[in-house]
Structure 1
Amino acid sequence: MSDITMKFDLPVPMRDGTVLMADVAWPAGDGPFPVLVERTPYDKNYRSTANFDTIDGLRAGFIIVRQDTRGSGKSEGEWMPMKYEREDGYDTIAWAATLPKSNGKVGTFGGSYTGSTQWSSAIAHAPELRAMAPLVTWSDPADGLMFRGGAVELGLNSWWGLMNALPHFLHTYPPEIAFPKMGQALGHFAALKERFWELPAAAQPFFVDLGMPDVGVARALEDRSTMDESRVDGHYEKLSVPSLNIAGWYDVFVQGSVDNYVGMRAQGAATRLIVGPWSHSSLNAGATLGEVGEVNFGLGMLSPGGEQISKINFDWYDHWLRDTPATSAHESGVLIFVMGANAWRAETDWPLARAVTTPLYLDEESALRWDAPESTDAASTYEYDPADPVMTRGGNLVMGSDYPAGPYDQRIAEERDDVLVFTTAPLELDVEITGRISATLFAATDGPSTDWVVRLCEVDSEGVSRNIVDGITRVHTEAGRIDEVTIDLWSTSILIKAGHRLRAHVTSSNFPRWDRNLNTGEPANVGTTIRVAQQRILHDAAHPSRIDLQIIPA
């Protein structure tokens, strides 16, 4: 270790003259070595070991670069999330390739925002970028980052915006203004459960007063094209950089990670997908001992295929950055953790070709059945009051410690009058659900707009009902009109054991994960008036409301 060389705060000039700062560590020896780069807004001094350990990387013979993104840490420039990452990524990759002892080949690493910066460099077509390994990151910012089904990702937006405002105040304001604002932000953090209720939801007064950008919601509502700055979807056909995608079934970006794999595979690019039962932070060192939410999936969940995530990454880079012979680690394919069975399984591709789309129908007497309804006139009704929404408990989310992600007991929500509950009979045989799940509702409301939320749960032999997947669709409609509404519940892999039951919830809120639809049709960045809505779900022969599962034949 004494032969390792480290240099701090090396200047990296961007094309517009802005200077970003990077820390660089060189392994022992003369090289040449490949270079691995992480570009982060979270301070380059923070060394997460979620999927990559710097010391292991140096021992494996990689030059390691960690850079503060524009307007972050010690880097110059404006802090505006996502806006500059493509151009800055291109320029940084070019700089990294010319470092002393470099072999000219660059790979990237990191998760969430720093996973997105990897895709940004690839989309910018940085020629020296030869491989990447994005962890828990998105594909379409309108599907999990800023919005979901038209609703605002309120929990993520408010929490992330506050978290990132704190270290960026001094980049934006002089100290005499920055420090009081930091104090205000800390107070808002402490009271965030109350702050979530402020309206308008996409321009909450407490956050607007801080004068800092959110994750991108406010800009997107003013100009939808700003979402293109962080969108991967739609760029696959122009990309060829090999990608190792790592995701979690209970992560807020799981579908984006899956979509990135599918998009690259469709273009014939080398790409792999690993999905564990993880939340957004499950892989952080010390964050879990096999538990996600209320379920212990076993320590094996931390070692995909029996290997550590860090080793999987280094094996991935070796071929693409050193020209070592390709192995099975470099073949396109999928490694998934099947919850319930609590085991890893390799698949040749996603979605699984053998999966069978199988509908579960909402029926009378709160039943969820495998056979289509026969009734000619069946419906269920409820009243949705935005002042009394269904509160978030678990799921695919990242929004602070008050609202942990994962599977949780949903029986409190099921007792509410505004949550319709439909349940199967106990299963006679084990049933594996692996794939992307969707719901179709034939629904009507009495106003110009509302939300439809569907959740799929597993009910165990003790009667505990835990969430598997859920989704939301915001509709703009005419009062009383019956709409056929599709709700994307995203992907999962779970074995439901014989004797257990499946359960569906239908409701109109999941707050504060998603902002409340006020039922008035006002945009989320101006709406403050609440209206109670009368909701109606049809589930008869002519209106077969259902959840479409992907069942793996036994």
Structure 2
Amino acid sequence: MRTATTRPQPPRPLPPSVRALRRTLRGLPGKLYDVAYEPGLVVPAADGSALLTDHYLPARDRKQAPGDFPTVLIRSPYGRGFPWAPMFAVPLAEQGFHVVLQSCRGTGGSGGTFDLWRNETADGTATVAWLREQPWFTGVLGTTGPSYLGFTQWALALDPPPELRAMVVQEGLHDLHAYFRPGGTFALQNGLTSAMGLTCQHQGTLPFVRATARLQRRFPAAARTLPLGDAYVPALGTRVPFVDEALAHADPADPAWRGADAGAAAESASVPTCLISGWSDVALDQTLQQYERLRRAGCERALLIGPWTHHSLLQRGWPQVFAETLAWLRAHLCGDPSGLRPERVRVHEGGGSATGTWRDLADWPPAAPGRRWYPAADGTLSRADTGEAGAPFATYRYDPADPVPSTGGPLLDNTAGPRDQSALEARDDVLTFTTAPLREPLHVRGPVSVSLRAAADTGHADVFARLCDVDGQGRSVNICDGIVRLPPDTTEPADVTVAMSSTAHCFASGHRIRLQVSGGAHPRFARHTGTGDPLATATRLVPAEVTLHHPAALALPVTEDGESGDDGKA
């Protein structure tokens, strides 16, 4: 382990494993420079802990390059090997960037204790202070990285150093409470999967593979065992403090969550920021929330959303994602805007054709009139609101002993994305409301929501809502969804709005719009036990009968090119 001031002469060639993995990547630009690296540099954290850091640098004629290249900082709790070295560090260094790849405190050999979110601002600032002392650092800095690496970027941007000129946040998080506790529930499947990655991936390939296998083997039992605060432990192999805190503290104002939301960095941002996500990405809502904040702040920004999940964005989507990343960094760190798109926003619009269509837009969301469709007792969904205010029109019984299963959507496994909903919609505890076949295509671009008046006979329940596209053969496929927990003791009808994320989707002519309503999506979300008992310690399961009352309305942002035929009439 070397000190921060020790530099090998000359830098080492890349390890054979990294070179081999880099050669497997397809669709990336040809290299401009050979790459060398300095592994295991020690950067002092804010508290003096040693942050292990690898430095990848461009080399001319296989020799060390002078310090005339900008720097890209990547701070990760997942280790510094795959995929960060071959997919991020080496390709960027090949294009003429110093890349500083660092393990967060308490991970990947770095000193101290990893404490989810609490040290990232201070340690990022300390790393920039170290960079200022390096002879190759030009004072021009960018950042990039996906998932929790997005949080480390936003944490640094809360008090951005003057050297920070650009950020590229790929499928990034900024609010850990919203991630673990969406809509007042607990993100059981994604939460435990993330916890496994955060606690094991930085330990190396074999420990990570073993932890993944253990979670897959033991998760089904954990998801159906009470109390949940104990049941999850065998699946992860250990008790994880931040999982315990997430289970125990539902309120984002609770002191336990202090510092977990770095979203304010975008509210007064001046650092040009490119945001990248997918329509089935677990971080989509957070990406769009930050884009809106950047828009209000007048910050230079760009947005790319593809037909990707959290994992496929880094797989089949990677050539396009890397090209977007490289263009943004070149524009703002190197003064070369030639690779930027003419329009600020590019989104993939699903439906309409087998492969969908890419759309370039001036901004997001585009100007679109809100249109409403109203569910009725006969299972129809129409533009005419014929319901009598206050009258009940639908009821479902949610039994936590036989919870409604999750089918597709934003998940962290290979079941994510659009999926056939036929088996799910055949259940008695899943309500569906469907339009007549559309006469013309209908284009929806922007946030989707449903407003409901709901009551539970026990006073305790969740409401899950999903927008689906039903084709001419009757196959129903999910587009976007959301969940909300009813206020405690809601035995009388209460107004709730289920934010169902956002989409860009074309309902083809002859297709039908479907609204799906149920009591949950398990094990994506922890089942509501039907009681007011704390989630971590609840041991009772009580079925709930949930009744929907008028008024209720599905709100869709319909674009101008979808004006005709949007009434859902046959």
1:27 to 58, 72, 82: 58
1:217 aligns with 2:241: no
Amino acid at match of 1:155: Q
Which residue is equivalent to 2:116?
81
Residue 72 of structure 2 aligns with which residue?
36
Q: Which residue of 2 aligns with 1:495?
A: 506
Q: Which moved more, 1:495-504 or 1:520-529?
A: 520-529
Query: What amino acid does structure 1 have at the position aligned with 2:112?
Result: G
Counterpart for residue 174 of structure 1? none
Q: Distance in 1 between matches of 2:405 and 2:416?
A: 13
Confirm or deny: 8 A CA contact 2:451 2:497 kept in the other structure: yes
Question: Which segments of structure 1 move beyond 6 Å, counting only runs of 4 or more?
Answer: 181-185
- Could you say which residue in structure 1 is the equivalent of 2:198? 164
Residue 248 to residue 199, structure 1, CA distance change in 2 (3 Å): same
Query: Counterparts of 2:104 and 2:403 in 1: how far apart (Å)?
Result: 38
CA distance in 2, matches of 1:210, 1:182: 16
Identify the match of residue 142 of structure 2 among 84, 95, 107.
Answer: 107
Give the aligned residue type for 1:373. T
Q: Which position in structure 1 is the counterpart of 2:302?
A: 272
Q: 1:510 to 1:37 in 2, by over 3 A?
A: same
Equivalents in 1 of 2:126, 2:38: separation in Å?
19
Structure-2 separation of matches of 1:372 and 1:380 = 15
Q: 1:246 aligns with which of 253, 261, 276?
A: 276
Count of residues in correspondence between the two structures: 516
Asked if 1:45 is matched to 2:74, the reply is no
Counterpart residue number, 2:5: none
Q: Distance in 2 between matches of 1:389 and 1:316?
A: 45
Q: Of the candidates 178, 182, 185, which is equivalent to residue 148 of structure 1?
A: 182
- Does structure 2 conserve the Cα–Cα contact (< 8 Å) formed by 1:97 and 1:105? no
Shift of 1:237: 2.9
* Residue of structure 2 equivalent to 1:544: 551
User: 1:237 is matched with which residue: 253, 267, 276?
Assistant: 267
CA spacing shift, 1:368–1:551, aligned 2, 3 Å: same
* TM-score, normalization by structure 2: 0.85
For residues 414-451 of structure 1, give each alpha carbon's deviation from its aligned partner in whole angstroms, at most 9, with x where no partner exists. Answer: 11111111111001110001100111111111123210
**Counterpart code for 1:358:** R
Amino acid at match of 1:470: D
Give the distance between the partners of 2:241 and 2:488, measured in 1 at CA. 32
The reply on whether 1:255 has 2:255 as its aligned counterpart is no
SS of equivalent residue, structure 1 residue 264:
helix
| Contact 2:369/2:557 (8 A) holds in 1 | yes
TM-score by length of 1: 0.87
Inter-CA distance 327–265: structure 2 relative to 1 (3 Å threshold):
farther
Cα distance between partner residues in 1 of 2:433 and 2:537: 36
Structure 1's unaligned 5+ residue stretches are 171-178, 289-301
2:327 equivalent to 1:318 = no
Q: Percent identity of the aligned residues?
A: 31
Distance 1:380 1:92 in 2: 57
Following superposition, the deviation at residue 128 of structure 1 comes to 2.1
Question: Residues of 1 paired with 2:424 and 2:232: CA distance?
Answer: 29
1:190 aligns with 2:209: no
SS of equivalent to 1:515 = coil
1:357 to 362, 365, 370: 370
* Structure 2 equivalent of residue 15 of structure 1: 46
RMSD: 2.6
**1:122 is aligned to 2:157:** yes
Matched ranges for 1:415-434 at <5 A:
415-434=426-445
C-alpha distance 139-320 of structure 1, shift in aligned 2 (>3 A): same
Q: Quick one: distance in 2 between partners of 1:414 and 1:468?
A: 15
Cα distance 1:235–1:311, how it changes in 2: closer, same or farther (>3 A)? closer
Whether the 8 Å CA contact 2:158–2:264 is kept in 1: the answer is: no
Residue 551 of structure 2 aligns to a residue whose secondary structure is coil
Aligned 8 A contact 2:267 2:297 in 1: yes
Report the equivalent of 1:505. Answer: 516
Partner of 2:406: 392
Q: C-alpha separation between the residues in 2 aligned to 1:185 and 1:433?
A: 38
Q: In 2, Cα distance between the equivalents of 1:310 and 1:101?
A: 24
Q: Are the equivalent residues in 1 in contact too, given 2:177–2:260 (CA < 8 A)?
A: no
SS of the residue corresponding to residue 259 of structure 2 reads helix
CA distance in 1 between counterparts of 2:237 and 2:327 reads 47
Give the letter aligned to residue 496 of structure 1.
F
Match of residue 567 from structure 2: none
Is the Cα contact below 8 Å between 2:185 and 2:484 reproduced in 1? yes
Q: Is the partner of 1:15 in helix, strand or coil?
A: coil
Deviation at 1:198, TM superposition (A): 2.5
String of CA shifts for 1:238-296, please: whole Å, max 9, x gaps. 322111100100111101101111101110111111111110011223xx4xxxxxxxx
Matched, 1:526 2:537: yes
Residues 313 and 169 of structure 1, relative CA distance in 2, 3 Å threshold: closer
Match of 1:308 in 2: 320
Residue equivalent to 1:199: 226
* DSSP 3-state at the match of 1:443: strand
Amino acid at match of 2:176: P
Question: Retained in 2: the 8 A contact 1:49–1:284?
Answer: no
**C-alpha spacing 1:3/1:499, structure 2 compared with 1 (3 Å):** closer
Partner Cα distance (2:478, 2:261) in 1:
29
Task: Give 3-state SS (helix, strand or coil) of 1:127's partner.
Answer: coil
Q: Is 2:474 aligned against 1:440? A: no
